[in-house]
Structure 1
Amino acid sequence: MARPTLKDVAAAAGVSVSTASRALADNPVIAAGTRQRVRARARELNYLPNAQARALRSARTGILGLTIPSLVNPFFATMAHAIQQASARRGFSTIISSTSEDPAQLTRSLDTLAAQQVDGILAVPYSGSDDTFSRLTMPVVLVDRELPDTGLPTVASDPAPGMEAAVDHLLDRGHRHLGYLSGPMSTSTGVRRLAAFEAACGRWGVEKQEVYHGGFDRSDGHQGTLDLLDRGVEAIIAGDTMMSVGALEACHARRVKIGRELALIGFDDNPTMRLQATPVSVIDQNVEDLGTRALNLLLDLVSGTSPPTSISTPTTLIIRPSSNFTRRR
């Protein structure tokens, strides 16, 4: 059975289409009796207003767009869930697009969201994608990663507090030869976290430090951990979620006893880190808070109630048994 249209409602109520439209919008120009009759006929026909037609009248669709690099990565999956839930509480629907860590796919996703006339977009960008965002006409908030030259408001965490606490914690427990699994240098997060690690090592006087430059996949973390172990490190800090997962896989494969033979600190808190036989210490960004803050900023921009101000949130160290042992000298 065909879905009833506004024309069907108008015919059933004995009024013109324009009158039916105004009546359903509760326009006081239409007599109260006529408005009641039109609404009654609409209920009888199970008429649902067309979302695009409402958008033409109100210049709003009630839909937000979200692009994230991966749904496999627990950090971004959790972020998407937090944003979607918070968006629904504010009366908005969310279209989520995974860009597979591919700048070209990001461009296609943003073009599609723009064609859908979403009210605003939350996006995790890639370095070099500035031009892609310059074409957008709706409010945009970047989340997790930055594009400083675009001037777009961004909600991202500051890695320095958590990284300084992690290095201090390892040194306090007698570890002197530290390894770092870096995320890709094609993202602002990868660059800033490596800089924070190196700054912390300089500040706390680390005797030896080793860096492995990884990528987006847990296989990079796996290979990097094996490489760092071969270099003789006593402790490893992972620079993102997938590097952390890869580090766990490598330690299990090589039968390295985490928390006894190696101190390990991951990045981002999630069940994988907590449910290990030896629960893993992490530098936490509080992803739910990060996503919710980004959504609230976007909605403020959509409604015109807030200037485009970026937000920086602190990282914190959560200490668990994987790093909370003292190395004897």
Structure 2
Amino acid sequence: MASAIPAKKRATTLKDIAQATKLSVSTISRALSNNASIPESTRRRVLEAAELLNYRPNAQARALRKSQTDTIGLLVPNIENPYFASLAAAVQRRARRAGVSTILTNTEENPDLVNQALDAMDDQRLDGIVVVPHFQSAEKVAELAGRGVPVVLADRNLTHTELPSVTSDPLPGMTAAVDLLTSADVSLGYLSGPQDTSTGRERLTTFEALCVDRGITGVSVYYGGYQQESGYEGVRVLLEQGANAIIAGDCMMTIGALEAIHERKLKIGEDLQLIGFDDNPIFRLQNPPLTIIDQNVARMGEVAFDILQRLIRGDKVQNSVRIPTTLMVKGSTSRSASAARAAEKNTRRTRVRKQSTS
């Protein structure tokens, strides 16, 4: 004979504490909210009873009392992308320290899903939202912000809006990457992200401007998306066009590029120079480890949450925070790095000779 399943224990209520202490429910409520009208001895008596009975405050009732839920929304386009997983983790860590819960939604780079998720979070009266936007979701994001919902854009921004955003500045990292690769005699290729995102457009524009500024010609560009498949197919196309040094415009395309390169049994750092995007642990495990452009995604998530908290409090915030990218040089650009070191030695020798003859 099957044993009976025990009934789920009912949560402790204010009425239970009132019965245990022989006090009124209103007195219990005021004591738990630290109302000054309640004597300290009574408050201690109520707190001891609440602890003994394992009382947990009702979150919804608490939210109604103070007009806050202590919960924020977080929308990212692809949770399978290690970069966005790291961004979400950084926001959630910061939120936990502040006693704030996070509702995470994966929007799959689909503007319809972005808009649906924003509506759902608005219906739940969350305190605010951190969103990685899609340009087709700009109207919905602006509508929420216009109604007073605190919204912070992370990783990407939206044109024609003044919403606070936290994004990376590709110029420092991309400048160092282009200069490093072109220290050697290379044919340069670039795996571009989608042009319907601010990051995809800005990184490509930055890359092309650097090439023009430095007089670099014969550059190949593959217009892809933020998917592994784009990196895989892009490497195939760029190799056919003669590229032997490639910069990948995001983390997932870097993974796809590695897959294509290993499949062709090319030696990274020798047959092909490769620079990836984002500090993914997988890239450090490559042989040789991968040179990457780092966006400092953890910092981006922390700053986005901090700005959202200030918005929720009604404080003034910066409209735009830019986090500089940095180049982390490893073995996947060894030929270019060797050429750069040799060029630097020659430059130093020339300086010494000029000084000795002056």
How high is the TM-score relative to the length of structure 1?
0.94
CA contact (8 A) 1:130 1:149 kept: no
Rounded to whole Å, the distance in 2 between the matches of 1:288 and 1:32 is 44
CA contact (8 A) 2:270 2:334 kept: no
Rounded to whole Å, the distance in 2 between the matches of 1:250 and 1:277 is 15
How much does 1:253 deviate?
0.9
Q: Choose which of 278, 291, 298 in structure 2 pairs with 1:288.
A: 298
Q: Which is further off, 143-152 or 132-141?
A: 132-141
2:250 maps to what in 1?
240
2:280 maps to what in 1?
270
CA contact (8 A) 1:73 1:241 kept: yes
CA contact (8 A) 2:162 2:319 kept: no
1:258 maps to 2:268: yes
Matched residue of 2:136: which SS? Answer: coil
CA offsets, 1:106-163, max 9 Å, x none? 1222222223322221110001211221342321110000013231100001111211
Gaps of 5+ in 1: none
Report the structure number with the largest CA radius of gyration: 2
2:122 maps to what in 1?
114
1:145 maps to 2:156: yes
CA offsets, 1:47-105, max 9 Å, x none? 11001111111122222221111111010111111121122122222222111111111
2:60 maps to what in 1?
52
Q: Percent identity of the aligned residues?
A: 48
Q: Which is further off, 150-159 or 16-25?
A: 16-25
Q: Which is further off, 3-12 or 69-78?
A: 3-12
How much does 1:17 deviate?
2.8
Q: What are the residue-to-residue correspondences of 1:168-207 with 2, within 5 Å?
A: 168-175=179-186, 177-207=187-217
1:128 maps to amino acid: Q
Rounded to whole Å, the distance in 2 between the matches of 1:105 and 1:200 is 36
Matched residue of 1:141: which SS? Answer: strand
Rounded to whole Å, the distance in 2 between the matches of 1:231 and 1:134 is 42
CA contact (8 A) 1:155 1:310 kept: yes
CA offsets, 1:274-294, max 9 Å, x none? 110111111111111111111
CA contact (8 A) 2:127 2:149 kept: yes
Q: Choose which of 226, 231, 249 in structure 2 pairs with 1:216.
A: 226
Q: Which is further off, 206-215 or 115-124?
A: 115-124
Q: Which is further off, 154-163 or 128-137?
A: 128-137
Rounded to whole Å, the distance in 2 between the matches of 1:281 and 1:32 is 62
CA contact (8 A) 2:72 2:100 kept: yes
Greater fraction helix: 2
Q: What are the residue-to-residue correspondences of 1:77-156 with 2, within 5 Å?
A: 77-136=85-144, 137-156=148-167
Rounded to whole Å, the distance in 2 between the matches of 1:31 and 1:317 is 61
1:22 maps to what in 2?
30
Q: Which is further off, 26-35 or 100-109?
A: 26-35
Q: Which is further off, 213-222 or 108-117?
A: 108-117
Rounded to whole Å, the distance in 1 between the matches of 2:120 and 2:207 is 38
2:248 maps to amino acid: A
Matched residue of 1:4: which SS? Answer: coil
CA contact (8 A) 1:101 1:216 kept: no
Matched residue of 1:9: which SS? Answer: helix
2:69 maps to what in 1?
61
2:126 maps to amino acid: V
CA contact (8 A) 1:297 1:306 kept: no
2:183 maps to amino acid: D
1:42 maps to 2:53: no
**Aligned residues between the structures:** 327
